[in-house]
Amino acid sequence: MAKFKPIDLPSGADNPLNAAVMNRDRDTLEMVAQAVKHQQTLLAFQPVVIAQDSGRVGFYEGLIRVMDDTGRIIPAKDFMPVVERAELGREIDVVALNMGLRTLHENPSVRISINMSARSIGYQRWMQTLNRWLKKDATVGERLILEITEGSAMDQPELVVDFMDRLSARGICFALDDFGAGYTALRYFKEFFFDVLKIDMQFCAGIADDPDTQVLTRAMIQIGHHFDMLVVGEGVERAEDVEMLMQLGVDCLQGYYFQAPQVRPGWLASERRKAGMRA
């Protein structure tokens, strides 16, 4: 009987699969870089509604989008995993912050959350953008929520704590995003200044059918409330999950069940101006 001989597969860049992934990532970086360079970026807004009164919006999350060379709108999930640890990730944070603050300035009745990475803390252009808008309109800081993912916050917790301490004094709020998706050293909850706790969608989607997830989510809600955080359930798409999360005690809800992210919501000042011009 012939003796089995293992096949030596190419490694690194010589591996066809690795080469394909590298080429895809390189194309993604180039696409995003061109979008930033030519200002082909925009925000899509998704409401975060009050759990006990879904007709009321607590705030809107501004989600970064870029357009490719065909004009297609590309959501963040399709490019952020590639760019977030590159220098381009910081540039995206600056772009998102600038668009968010402009929106707050032009729409004084809304609150908006904007995502950022802990890697942008200390990035000069990011802070310059914030300071420029605060100088122009001090009210934007009081209506700005900065969302930092659990994983990003845990990369450099001491740096995040100091950053939050300084900006909280200027009226800015903070949300801990995707809670439960990664590893959190709970001891930092005593030092963080998070105002909002957003429970990751993997716990919220299908929760009505999963008693184990219900127990875990109840514990996360209790942690958030103990530290005086507003607790948001993310990624809800079914009425039964909404009902269960309300029973467990969430304060707000976000997801396609209520509304998909919109790049031109009716409340946006630019859209109202366009409507007035058409009238």
Asked if residue 53 is part of any domain, the answer here is yes
Tell me what pLDDT residue 10 has: 56
Number of domains the chain contains: 1
Nearest of 160, 163, 93 to residue 129 by alpha carbon: 93
Q: Are strands 41-50 and 252-253 parallel, antiparallel or unpaired?
A: antiparallel
203 within a domain of the structure (yes/no): yes
46 lies in a domain?
yes
Pairing state of beta strands 252-253 and 144-149?
unpaired
Residue 164 belongs to domain with CATH number: 3.20.20.450
Give residue 156's pLDDT: 84
Q: What pLDDT does 175 receive?
A: 97
Q: Is residue 4 part of a domain?
A: no
What are the pLDDT digits (tens) for 219-256?
999 999 999 999 999 999 999 999 999 999 999 999 99
Whether residue 77 lies inside any domain: the answer is yes
Report yes or no on whether pTM surpasses 0.75: yes
191 falls within a domain: yes
- Which of 122, 54, 51, 74 has the alpha carbon at shortest distance from 263? 74
**Phi, then psi, of 169 in degrees rounded to 5:** -65, -15
Residue 9 belongs to some domain of the structure:
no
11 in a structural domain: no
How do residues 78-94 score in pLDDT, each as one tens digit? 888 888 878 898 999 99
Mean pLDDT of the chain: 88
Give burial (CB, 10 Å; 0-12/13-18/19+) of 186. Answer: exposed
**Tell me, what's the pLDDT at 190?**
79
Give residue 201's domain range: 17-278
Residues of the chain with pLDDT below 50 are: 277-279
